[in-house]
A and B are shown apart, each in its own frame.
Chain A
Amino acid sequence: MSERTVTIERHYPADPAEVWELWTTPEGIEAWWGPDGFAVQVHALDVRPGGTMRYSMRAVDDHIAAYLRSQGLATETTHEIRFVEVVPYRLLASRHPVDFVPDVETYEVGIRLELRPDAGGTRLRLVLDTMHDQTWTDRAVAGWEQQLDRLAHTLQEGR
């Protein structure tokens, strides 16, 4: 297990219900999901085992958009993830297709979110499947760390 997954842990000064809201509602996800410089729009969301979330990510930062265009890449992309395990306020496991890597056949990675109450808030544990090589795994981990910072920032608004 340890070689095939990477675990990120965070503490948030908000209760698990609030963290869960930000992971399972369109308003919540749009507030923090995605890397810096991108805006996310949720088009469909069905948080149940077998349910999916469809969303698009658009580069809103001019520099990032210009860079993507110079590389011949789209500035807006649509993604769909599938939920496999849902235990409200505790566990959210999902499968994310990796279909954006040139010369690599589409495959899926699993992402497992675990929440538990601890002193003064919530302990968040995010277990990510590793990707096809170390470079992409590092990118994914860096991306998630950035997103989790945005999540912390969004949670501040409820305090």
Chain B
Amino acid sequence: MDDLGFAALSDGTRRTIVKALRDGERSVGELVDVAGVAQSGVSRHLRILGEAGFVQVRADGQRRLYSLRPEPFQQIDAWMDDYRRLWEGRLDRMGRALEQRRADHEREDTA
């Protein structure tokens, strides 16, 4: 995940558009209704999302339909995974430390 990818998701209007596309393809007109901004603004946000690889477009007759591409989301997930592992390892060690303390206390109590 590069800077452009994170920058693409750094804007609230663009996150609203991404959220709307989770349910499937949408036209610009439908996204204008959801995002509540002018069509030129939605088009601009779609270009930014497209350049970062989040969104693709296909023609359906006269209409152009936008949808999400899975790849950048998989990249974010892989990036998050490193941190998840780090924290899981840390939490496992904390769990072992708790076990150890309890075992120590029980020994003291029975002694």
Contact = CB atoms under 8 A, between A and B. Distances in A.
Q: Do A and B bind each other?
A: yes
Interface of A: 14-18, 21-22, 25, 27-28, 31, 88-89, 117, 154, 157-159
Given A17-B7, A17-B11, A154 B40 contact: yes
B41 interface: yes
B48 interface: yes
Give the most central of A17, A22, A88, A89: most B CB within 10 Å.
A17
14 contacts: A14-B11, A17-B4, A17-B7, A17-B11, A17-B48, A18-B45, A18-B48, A21-B44, A27-B43, A154-B40, A157-B40, A158-B42, A158-B44, A159-B13
A133 to B, nearest CB: 38
B53 to A, nearest CB: 13
Interface of B: 3-4, 7-8, 10-11, 13, 37-38, 40-45, 47-48
B56 to A, nearest CB: 17
Nearest to B7: A17
Which of A22, A88, A158 gathers most chain B CB within 10 Å? A158
Contact of B4 (A88, A117, A158): A88
Given A25-B47, A27-B47, A159-B13, 18 more contacts: A17-B7, A17-B11, A18-B11, A18-B44, A18-B48, A21-B47, A22-B44, A27-B40, A31-B40, A89-B4, A89-B7, A157-B37, A157-B40, A157-B41, A158-B13, A158-B41, A158-B45, A159-B37
Contacts of A117: 10
A22 B37 CA distance: 16
